[in-house]
Copies of this chain bind each other. A is one copy, B any other.
Amino acid sequence: MSISRIRKEVDAALRAFVDGQRPALLSISPDLAPMLAALDALLAGGKRLRPAFCYWGWQAAGGQEPREGIVTAAASLELLQASALVHDDVMDSSDTRRGQPSAHRRFESLAVQEGRPGAAAPFGEGAAILLGDLCLAWSSEMYEASGLDAARIADGRAVYNLMRTEVMSGQYLDLLEGVRGTGTVDAALRVVEFKSAKYTIERPLHLGSALAGGSTEVTGALRAYGRPLGIAFQLRDDVLGVFGDPAETGKPAGDDLREGKRTVLVAQTVARASAAQAEVIDRLLGDPGLDAAGVAELRGIIVDTGGLAACEAMIGRYAEEAAEALRTAPITGEARIALEDLAVAATTRQA
């Protein structure tokens, strides 16, 4: 089974679930149509990474056909992610997501259409908070209704629960680090571990293995591959957030710099900066009005200090650690090939 085939099946499962909710929501009121439209727009994009790792974790652990149940359970992770993205965009006041207006901006437009531009900001934010809540509720609803064996669903639920607690905790630690601004590589890595590494790769693999009744050995090997790969994935994200091509990432150039994200890349830069460079970082990083010249200046410092090189070296080391764990993992051959491909995609991607 190819990676792209699974992706299509995940897309179909998501569509089927949302289409199943549509009449129920619209029977409460046709005025709920904008909630569905915002969700449709969000789900039109995305790499479906978490479902992919969940599926291949299941396959790696010897999960048996038919695939329908595991594809549905795996696809539910995309609704969890949709919830996180919508709420994240509210917290960060982001204008765009996946190349489209963010959910709260969409709802703001609705208030303007209703002739209430003055109420647009609180309405947009409130509606987006509710959309994120709905996605979070629906993710567990979809998971529980996946049709997999009840005992397996229960085994997987423990992982699912942990993953939710971890990602929300990681996001809180991220906000806290933004306030504290300790700015150390260690503090940034702690956020990466819970907000991204476990959530995006390690736990989806773990969940897939649990849903297949995978042995402790298989689950352990998958997690040993997933954790460093998850860190490498997030470090690549940090690099793309500063140097990525807007046409590929769907986000304005240098958006992470404007937001002042305290990433590992920034921490590596700060750790190497001269007093003069540190002063520039302090002045420009997190300036919402940062222009192209400011972005270029910060990029220059990230390169000149060796911050970028240090981050790329970390990506290489973590990716190698993941590859090594994969080589010795007691898993199916088909899964090994898919997980190798996913590892390359996660760490060398352009978006």
Contact residues of A with B, CB < 8 Å?
21, 24-25, 28-29, 31-32, 35, 83, 87, 90-91, 93, 110-111, 114, 116, 119, 122-123, 125-127, 129-130, 132-134, 136-138, 140-141, 144, 150, 157, 161-162, 164-166, 168-173, 175-176, 178-181, 190, 194
Contacts and interface: CB of A to CB of B under 8 A. Distances in A.
Given A28-B165, A31-B173, A116-B179, 9 more contacts: A29-B190, A32-B172, A91-B125, A123-B175, A123-B176, A127-B172, A134-B168, A141-B161, A144-B144
Contact of A129 (B93, B129, B176): B129
Given A24-B165, A28-B194, A141-B161, A175 B134 contact: no
Question: Copies of this chain, how many?
Answer: 2
Given A87-B129, A126-B175, A175-B126, A32 B169 contact: yes
A127 B173 contact: no
A86 B51 CA distance: 30
B28 A87 contact: no
A126 B91 contact: yes
Given A114-B179, A144-B157, A133 B168 contact: yes
Given A111-B179, A130-B175, A133-B83, A165 B91 contact: no
Nearest to A122: B91
A175 B133 contact: no
Contact of A28 (B90, B91, B166, B175): B166
Contacts of A126: 91, 171, 175
Nearest to A138: B165
Contacts of A168: 130, 133-134, 137
A123 B179 contact: yes
B169 A28 contact: yes
Contacts of A176: 31, 123, 127
A65 to B, nearest CB: 24
Contacts of A123: 175-176, 178-179
Contact of A137 (B24, B125, B164, B179): B164
A192 to B, nearest CB: 13
B179 A119 contact: yes
A172 B130 CA distance: 7
Contacts of A150: 150
A166 B130 CA distance: 11
Contact of A32 (B122, B138, B161, B173): B173
A190 to B, nearest CB: 7
A141 B180 CA distance: 32
